[in-house]
Amino acid sequence: MSDLLRAFGWSGYFESRFEALAEPGLEPGRVVESRRGLLRLQTAGGSLAARVSGRRLHRATQAAQLPVVGDWVGFQPPIDHGPAVIRALLERRNHLARKAAGARAEQQLVAANVDLVLLVMGLDGDYNLRRLERFLAMAEECGARAAVVLNKTDLDPDFERRLDQVRGLCGGSPVVALSALGGSLEALELLLAPRETVAFVGSSGAGKSTLINRLLGDVAIATRPVRESDSRGRHTTTHRELFRLPGGSLVIDNPGVREMQPWSVEEALPRVFDDVERLARACRFADCGHTNEPACAVQAAIASGELDADRLESLRRLEREADALERRKDVRARRERDRKLGKLYRSIQRQKRDRQR
């Protein structure tokens, strides 16, 4: 396989899955940009515009079954100057996902085949430990490594205190503090490795695009200042795109997230809130609810100042949201099964009528 594909993360894992397709005429490529339904691929021969085949679009029952930035696909080369046609989606190593905004119980994929999730949070009005816990749960669910970048140290002379706070939440995950506007990026660059894919996530205005521009050494991504009133960004990045840095790392810029609910966190929460889990093991009752039960080690830790009460409430809120989401998923799954059964029944009835004619 070409050196260009390997530079964009092609490996034996994807090669074996591409060979298993056994479809002549297809070539491999990686989705490096998604903009309003239009895709761009990195291929062995360079960059190509692409579209998903009508057959694949028709068969997809949910958005997660369609290619996203970071995916490897099998495509049919362009004919007569038209776009390439994506006919196959290679099995993902992992994916970064959240619940789609709104009331729908639908998964929204943020990126695919990620090695490192880089959580960017500003040291201005964007600083929010409870939101950071949600991002950590999303990264843990993905199965990729996680790291946190506290941006805008130039706006907070007391940033060392906040740095210690975040380190206390992140376990062994790296945490660095810097200023994207002119400060040294050495601590961030040490986290990046050639051919590894890094997904930048965070709120609007946290500084993701500014950081990537600095790493690229060029202004590749438009940026806008945050509002002075609340330090919130204004969604300058409206699409997802993968860039290759001069050092060989691959970074994905994502639109800012204002509503963040992880998609599935049953297994992730005990690891993100390992301090609460560790304390809970010392409670007298195995099913302790950490409210008014006697000999509750969690409540004792809150009373002594060892554990922040807001952290326990954050865990409870995420658990409640996860339970509610799972119930909505079950309802949607039942409706989908009913729809398919109804379609099958109507098809059988049509066949019976045709035979009777």
Rounded CA-CA distance 112/237 in Å is 18
Q: What is the pLDDT of residue 104?
A: 65
Residue percentage of the chain with pLDDT more than 90: 51
Q: What is the pLDDT of residue 129?
A: 93
Length of the chain counted residue by residue:
357
Q: What is the pLDDT of residue 229?
A: 45
| Overall average pLDDT of the 282-288 stretch | 91
pLDDT at 348 over 80: no
Q: Give 224-259 as a DSSP string.
A: -PPPTTT--------SEEEEE-TTS-EEEE----SS
What does the pLDDT look like over 179-203, one tens digit per residue? 998 889 999 999 999 999 999 998 8
Cβ 65 vs Cβ 106: under 8 Å:
no
Rounded CA-CA distance 207/322 in Å is 29
Higher pLDDT, 124 or 265: 124
The pLDDT-based confidence of 351 (bands split at 50, 70, 90) is confident
Query: What's the CATH number of domain 95-253, 3.90.1310.10, 3.40.50.800, 3.40.50.300, 3.40.1550.10?
Result: 3.40.50.300
H/E segment holding residue 132: helix 129-142
Cβ 329 vs Cβ 104: under 8 Å:
no
Q: What is the pLDDT of residue 41?
A: 96
Higher pLDDT, 288 or 264: 288
Give the residue from 324, 339, 341 showing the smallest Cα distance to 105. Answer: 324
Q: Cβ contacts of residue 298 below 8 Å, gap of 6+?
A: 276, 279, 280, 283, 288, 290, 307, 312
Q: What is the pLDDT of residue 226?
A: 47
The pLDDT-based confidence of 233 (bands split at 50, 70, 90) is very low
| Overall average pLDDT of the 91-117 stretch | 83
Cβ 170 vs Cβ 299: under 8 Å:
no
The pLDDT-based confidence of 18 (bands split at 50, 70, 90) is very high
pLDDT at 228 over 50: no
Average pLDDT, the chain: 85
DSSP state of 121: E
Nearest 5°: the CA angle 146, 236, 5 is 55
What does the pLDDT look like over 234-263, one tens digit per residue? 445 558 899 999 999 999 998 755 555 665
pLDDT at 232 over 60: no
pTM for the model:
0.80
Residue percentage of the chain with pLDDT more than 70: 83
What does the pLDDT look like over 52-69, one tens digit per residue? 999 998 888 888 889 999
What does the pLDDT look like over 112-145, one tens digit per residue? 999 999 999 999 988 999 999 988 988 888 889 9
CATH 3.90.1510.10 fits 3-89, yes or no: no
- Going from N- to C-terminal start, the domains of the chain cover 3-89, 95-253
